Structure 1
Amino acid sequence: MTALTSGDQRRKTRRTRPRRSPAGLAPWEERPSPAGRLGKGTLLTLIVLIVLGPLYTIVLTSLSSSETVNRVGGLVLVPDGITFEAYRQIFSDTVVSRAVLVSTLVTLAGTAVSTAVSVLGAYSLSRTGSFLHRPLLFSILLMFVFFPGIIPVYLMVSGLGLKDTYWSLILPTAVSAFNVVVLRSFFMNVPGEILDSARIDGAGEFRILFRIVLPMSKAVTAVVAMFYAVGYWNAWFNAMLYIDDTRKWPLALILRQYVVDSNPLPSATAGVTGDAPPTLAIKMAIVVIAVIPALILYPFVQRHFTKGVIVGAIKG
């Protein structure tokens, strides 16, 4: 009997491998019934409407005139003329424009600091022989159970002279224990043979991290960076605690004061509030401005999201 070569074996495997049907189904998959297809389509349609319905209403209300909003008596469901008056009023007010700039700068700086610290900490904790490995890992895991509380953190921020500075919006929440553990789990799955060969070639730990580990960890790093960015953009509690100068308020605090509590916007002069009552169209316009960055950011990391959130769940 003549032995088959590797090429003959591959051709034979391709000939005997079951092929998919014209509908894209594998031989062991059943064709969905018309009722099943109808049910899936109906369910997906309902989910899309539930998600897009509120967004549609908010955007349409922000683009409606005050007369239309007053006539309807609330959120606008049917368009009756489009106007950008609410957005013009917002950006003509230096308070909201400055809040957008503050939130943007805090988000960029905070995301960079948090991602860098988390990556460095996770990589050092993923190396079992690193300095103080066990005590540091225990401290990180302890953060899942205990939190120092608002008063000790406030006293620490005040004692360090960070109160009423932008750093008070970044440093108290710079590191998330969950994100560090997720990154550490991914770094530990990097094949040790690759790292050992790099060390034999003379590469140091920083070069291994930035030239080998991080390029192999783009998915989880992108997801962690997105979590940090969304958190900084939506954060308002730290600003309420540590920022007294209203000119340094981020957009999230403006959103809470003006939209949720219906308080007048602070004027450009610190500590002084205006007399103009909030209107529904302007409220919804601020909500739209607050949501837009997340909608812009998500498509760029969406392809990494699924892989990043399930990292560590399986091996192989």
Structure 2
Amino acid sequence: IVLWPEDVNFIVYKEIIYDKMFWISYTNTLFYTVFGTMWSMLISVTGAYALSKKKLVGQRMFNFLVVFTMWFSAGMIPLFLNYKGMGVDNRWGMVIAFGVQAYNIILLRNYFTGVPKEIEEAAIVDGANEFQILTKIYLPMSKAALATVTLFYATSRWNGYYWSRMLLRGAHQQPLQVYLRQLHENYQKLVEYGSDVTIPYAADSLIYAIIICSIIPILIIYPYIQKYFVKGVNLGGVKE
């Protein structure tokens, strides 16, 4: 049994290297992932911190409203019309409009609730304000939850397809997943209608090669935060 395949070549990867649209979409995906994750974490951390405070006026109502969004959605057409009306059909719009996921806020809120109140009270006695309490007490003590939620947001942004396909019209704005889908559709049309163009490799090989390239960043990042993953989900999910 020979495990190494015969006639191995990397011609499809050469095609990728010289494919301008691949690099444009790859850069767009990096942009959406990096800035989108930063924005999502900013909103989620500050929101979860506020919701974890019993002294917050209307805390129960705000918590209910966050959970309510997980049960009911406005529907595709109303959301599409609202996003179009707000001008979310551009790169920064895609970053800002899809900034929060209710589950991640709840996960962080539950984790923040478990931070000992004695430490916070001691900081208040020493003159610390809310921002200092958040950044110097809550965040350092919540590394597992923060790493877990960051992974959730990053993978969600990296794999983003649906709303990018719906809202972004310019090819120069499309992320990698949309480009991959369009590439697959183009090859299907070539097979269905026939073409005089000779391709020196199987049509699916290019798609598979792009998939390999697309998962490399996640494969690099995941091992570094894997140790926080299970701990963050468990501790954030069992608190009241």
* TM-score computed with the length of structure 1 as normaliser: 0.68
Distance (Å, rounded) in 2 between the aligned partners of 1:286 and 1:264: 19
1:178-209 alpha-carbon deviations (Å, 9 max, x no partner): 01001000000000000011011110111100
Match of residue 282, structure 1, among 203, 206, 223: 206
Whether 1:246 and 2:174 are equivalent positions in the alignment is: no
3-state SS, counterpart of residue 128 of structure 2: coil
Query: What does 1:59-78 align with in structure 2 at a 5 Å threshold?
Result: 78=4
> CA shift at 1:78, angstroms?
4.6
Distance (Å, rounded) in 1 between the aligned partners of 2:117 and 2:138: 11
Contact in 2 for aligned 1:257/1:263 (Cα 8 Å): no
1:106-138 alpha-carbon deviations (Å, 9 max, x no partner): 100000000110010000000011244233212
Residues 92 and 148 from structure 1, CA distance in 2 versus in 1: closer, same or farther, beyond 3 angstroms?
same
Contact in 2 for aligned 1:119/1:180 (Cα 8 Å): yes
> CA shift at 1:256, angstroms?
1.9
Larger radius of gyration: 1
The answer for the alignment partner of 1:26 in structure 2 is none
Whether 1:130 and 2:69 are equivalent positions in the alignment is: no
Distance (Å, rounded) in 2 between the aligned partners of 1:117 and 1:137: 15
> CA shift at 1:151, angstroms?
1.4
3-state SS, counterpart of residue 70 of structure 2: coil
Distance (Å, rounded) in 2 between the aligned partners of 1:259 and 1:185: 42
Contact in 1 for aligned 2:33/2:154 (Cα 8 Å): yes
> CA shift at 1:161, angstroms?
1.8
3-state SS, counterpart of residue 144 of structure 1: helix
Amino acid paired to 1:143: T
The answer for the alignment partner of 1:14 in structure 2 is none
Distance (Å, rounded) in 1 between the aligned partners of 2:162 and 2:71: 21
Distance (Å, rounded) in 1 between the aligned partners of 2:34 and 2:125: 37
Amino acid paired to 2:233: V
List runs of 5+ in structure 2 lacking aligned partners. 191-196
Distance (Å, rounded) in 2 between the aligned partners of 1:111 and 1:169: 12
- Determine which structure has the larger helix proportion and give its number: 2
Match of residue 149, structure 1, among 71, 75, 86: 75
RMSD over aligned Cα, in angstroms? 2.1
List runs of 5+ in structure 1 lacking aligned partners. 1-76, 266-274
3-state SS, counterpart of residue 311 of structure 1: helix
> CA shift at 1:296, angstroms?
0.9
The answer for the alignment partner of 2:193 in structure 1 is none
Distance (Å, rounded) in 2 between the aligned partners of 1:230 and 1:171: 17
- Of structures 1 and 2, the one scoring higher in RCO (CA 8 A, sep 6+) is 2
Amino acid paired to 1:280: D
> CA shift at 1:299, angstroms?
0.4
